[in-house]
């Protein structure tokens, strides 16, 4: 469970929001502008590197959550075919980032592993709901 004190509420909301916005933005770049998934993720990561610093949040954590959201959106557009699906994928990715990002500090491939796990959960839950 995520422990949240009154000073962490805004940073957790910003972390989840950055992940959601990055996932949706990467999906939009792939759909509307026909960019490859790698190029669209790179553009989102480049834009996320310009998140301004502030004393109330960790800008590096926000950039990392944006990278994770864009990594999750690199899956095939067949798996998240609508913007609602992209938004749900971004929220699941942000929640997993909030839950497990702290425990995986110092490990290489943390962001990609979180993105992979969230895509696996998202695609599995979609197929499970289709079977019902």
pLDDT digits (tens, 9 = 90+) for 19-61: 999 999 999 999 999 999 999 999 999 999 998 877 777 788 8
Q: What is the pLDDT of residue 89?
A: 95
What's the Cα-to-Cα distance from 43 to each of 49, 52, 94, rounded to whole Å? Answer: 10, 17, 19
* Domain residue ranges in the chain: 9-131
Token representation of residue 65: 């959550």
* DSSP codes of every residue in 17-29: HHHHHHHHHHHHH
pLDDT digits (tens, 9 = 90+) for 68-123: 999 999 998 888 888 899 999 999 999 999 999 888 888 889 999 999 999 999 99
Q: With beta carbons less than 8 A apart as the criterion, state whether 102 and 131 touch.
A: no
Distance from C-alpha of 20 to C-alpha of 38, rounded to nearest angstrom: 18
pLDDT at residue 1 tops 60: no
């Amino acid at each position: 469970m995520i422990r949240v004190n009154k000073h962490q509420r805004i940073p957790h909301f910003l972390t989840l929001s950055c992940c959601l916005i990055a996932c949706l933005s990467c999906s939009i770049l792939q759909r509307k502008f026909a960019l490859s998934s790698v190029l669209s993720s790179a553009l989102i990561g480049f834009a996320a590197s310009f998140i301004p610093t502030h004393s109330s949040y960790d800008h590096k954590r926000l950039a990392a959550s944006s990278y994770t959201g864009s990594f999750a959106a690199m899956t095939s557009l067949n798996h998240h075919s609508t913007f609602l699906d992209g938004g749900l994928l971004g929220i699941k990715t942000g929640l997993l980032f909030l839950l497990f990002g702290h425990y995986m500090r110092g490990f290489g491939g943390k962001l990609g592993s979180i993105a992979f796990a969230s895509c696996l959960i998202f695609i599995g839950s979609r197929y499970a709901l289709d079977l019902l």
